[in-house]
Amino acid sequence: MTEPVIHTVLFTFLVFLVEAASRPNIVVIVADDLGWNDVSFHGSDQISTPHLDELAYKGVLLKNYYVSPICTPTRGALMSGRHPIHTGLQSGVIVGSQPYGLPLNLTIMPQWLKQLGYRTHMVGKWHLGFFRKEYTPLYRGFESHYGYYLGCGDYYDHSSEATPDYFGYDFWRNDTIDYTSIGQYSTDIFTKEAVNIINNHNPSEPLFLYLPYQAVHSGNLPDGNPLQAPQKYIKRFPHIKNSKRRTYAGMVSALDDAVGTVVDALKSQGLYDNSVILFTTDNGGPANGFDGNAANNFPLRLENQVNQIKRFVETEKFCNETWKLEQRFAEVKEEIDTKLQFVFKNHKDLKLARELIECDIDLVGNKAILASLNCEANNLRELISKSLKDKDILCAKFQRIQDFKQIVERKQNLIQVLARQNYNAKSRLEDQRKEIDQYIAKSLSTHFTETKTLTSGLHGSVVDEIDKFTALALPNLLFTVVNESALKTPISDISINQTTNLSYQQLQQLLDTVQFPPYKAPECILLHCLKMKYEDTLKKINWSDEDISSSQIEELCKNVHEHDQKLLDKMLPLLNQRINSTGKALADCVHVKDTISEWWNQPAQYVVPWVNVEGNSLQNWKEKWTILTTKLRQMMVKQH
């Protein structure tokens, strides 16, 4: 995309860093074929790269930083600190099994850093030669390498297009072929390996991690799938209609997430604050479908191409016109010379005539040059005038930018004030929230206890008597009271089953002692015993219907039922009224608590004391809370 540039300054800067006392960790992340307009910190409105943006805004943007137009030269310069023309890598990329690589007589970055006590690891693409093992990463200063040697390959099966004629499997762990990575997306497994290295690193030693990703280089071209990304990333860009560009955007998004994961790992291990993170691309993105890619280098690539084409067309046009004029001028000169020879027979006169014609031609030429210069001068004056206007426009824009910068600074100061107020308000609200929670818990506990006491204190009520009644076993449902004694004897102890040999007087005495007080016996159970179950026994003792009437028993049961119903009608409305009033008071308390909780979750500018919520300020809500809780306590005392 641009001219190659010497990386000596960058390399010297890194050496200066590592010679410092702290020896910072160094993480070099290299993207492959990433376009200028494929990251949002360069203004891309298609692809969002929040993690790269964070590094850019918190770090230093190198705006005069250049790379080579293809992979191998850039990587050789990055590793050696030398321009590719001095390493023999300037002409192209290493393809297939070509027998050359980064010269072995050069000491490269990991070797220098290793001498300074660094632990050196590489994860990703090498592309600096592998025709002999001495050219591979383990023999060039890296303690470990997980990745591939060639320039491209499939992102999932890791087969590599060595040349257009043959493929091969190219994925290594150190110096051993690794087949466990088949089927896994390369960006994901490179990130996982990098995070594993960071997590297992000893913080007392400096770390150098070289992380050249495969992304976003195209994959295998012949009968292959050059653009590959997981669907979860592709689905992030439904607004991109071109399918290739959409897949490419997914590849960039996966790379951005990977960089964020590596940075998070550095932070979690406490290495971030003492780390230098360098992110670069090896070259610009192949645009217009070249190499199966879908990158975008606007405005750089487009502007350069258009200008080059314009210059080429104009140059060719002028060259053609110049050649035609030169041919015509030569013909005219020959015609003039022929006429001069015909007119002037004397050699001396012919010579003077030729010189005069040459002077006339030079004069005409100089006049044409002067006219051309005047025209160019006018064009330059117009250009200068336009430049001055552009300068005025830029100055006005710069002034607006400065004014906007001042507005931003004032807003930042206001935000800081609001943030401090938010912090203080949150602290106060936290204390009030705890106090309210404690008060509500205490109030609810007290109310529950008082309600339970109130309910249990309703002696002789329907609930209490029904509980006692339903808790009795069937044989104990009938009771007898003897001589008004508080001692109650189950009727089964003096059951009719035991009165077979009783006399009539004894049986009469027994029945006289049987009573039916409220909630002590089920209706009609005695009638059932007398009329049905013990009919034979009554006949044997000469029982007569005149002695005790079933209608009398039924009347007694009816009276008991009516008495019970009246008691229920009296007690239940009172109990319901108390429950409803207490529930309303509790609902009001919960509403106030929920309102304060919602208030708590609002941003700083909405929690300051002078802001109203539902027409009430924080002070109004506190007073309302106090009134409601006071009413609740008064209601509890009144009910008690």
- Same-domain status, 331 and 272: no
- Average per-residue pLDDT in the chain? 76
CB 249 within 8 A of CB 47: yes
Is 138 inside a domain boundary? yes
Q: pLDDT higher for 521 or 356?
A: 356
Please identify which of the residues 7, 71, 121, 145 carries the catalytic annotation: 71
Q: What is the pLDDT of residue 201?
A: 96
- Same-domain status, 352 and 246: no
Q: What is the enclosing helix (H) or strand (E) of 146?
A: strand 144-148
Backbone angles phi, psi at 224, to 5 degrees: -110, -170
Is 71 assigned a catalytic role?
Answer: yes
Above pLDDT 70, what percent of the chain?
A: 63
Largest Cα–Cα distance of the chain, in whole Å? 192
Please identify which of the residues 127, 145, 201, 447 carries the catalytic annotation: 127
Q: pLDDT higher for 276 or 586?
A: 276
Model confidence band, residue 412 (pLDDT cutoffs 50, 70, 90): confident
Amino acid present at 458? L
Is 202 inside a domain boundary? yes
Asked if residue 82 has pLDDT above 70, the reply is yes
Is 62 inside a domain boundary? yes
Q: Mean pLDDT check: name the lowest of 37-46, 61-70, 113-122, 502-511.
A: 502-511
Mean pLDDT across 19-47: 88
- Same-domain status, 211 and 80: yes
Q: What is the pLDDT of residue 564?
A: 59
- Same-domain status, 244 and 340: no
**CATH number of the domain bearing residue 214:** 3.40.720.10
Model confidence band, residue 7 (pLDDT cutoffs 50, 70, 90): very low
- Same-domain status, 335 and 204: no
What is the 3-state secondary structure of 403-433? HHHHHHHHHHHHHHHHHHHHHHHHHHHHHHH
State how far the Cα of 154 lies from the Cα of 221, in Å rounded to an integer: 9
**pLDDT tens by residue, 142-152:** 999 999 999 98
| Burial class for 146, CB neighbours closer than 10 Å (0-12, 13-18, 19+) | buried
- Same-domain status, 146 and 119: yes
Is 484 inside a domain boundary? no
Which among 272, 300, 328 is the end of a domain? 300
Is 191 inside a domain boundary? yes
- Same-domain status, 290 and 312: no
Above pLDDT 90, what percent of the chain?
A: 33
Model confidence band, residue 484 (pLDDT cutoffs 50, 70, 90): very low
CB 266 within 8 A of CB 26: no
Name the residue range of residue 391's domain: 303-409+522-539
- Same-domain status, 214 and 362: no
Which among 300, 315, 350 is the end of a domain? 300
Is 493 inside a domain boundary? no
Q: pLDDT higher for 448 or 130?
A: 130
- Same-domain status, 195 and 123: yes
Q: What is the pLDDT of residue 456?
A: 55
Model confidence band, residue 578 (pLDDT cutoffs 50, 70, 90): low
Which among 283, 300, 317 is the end of a domain? 300
- Same-domain status, 258 and 313: no
Asked if residue 593 has pLDDT above 90, the reply is no
Q: What is the pLDDT of residue 233?
A: 96
Q: What is the pLDDT of residue 621?
A: 64
Number of folded domains that form the chain: 2
Is 375 assigned a catalytic role?
Answer: no
Q: What is the pTM of this model?
A: 0.50
Q: pLDDT higher for 438 or 73?
A: 73
Mean pLDDT across 574-595: 69
State how far the Cα of 312 lies from the Cα of 552, in Å rounded to an integer: 128
- Same-domain status, 356 and 394: yes
**pLDDT tens by residue, 458-479:** 444 444 444 444 444 433 333 3
- Same-domain status, 223 and 352: no
Q: What is the pLDDT of residue 615?
A: 64
CB 260 within 8 A of CB 10: no
| Burial class for 231, CB neighbours closer than 10 Å (0-12, 13-18, 19+) | exposed
Return the ∠ at Cα 413 (arms to 408 and 417), rounded to 5°.
145
Is 190 inside a domain boundary? yes
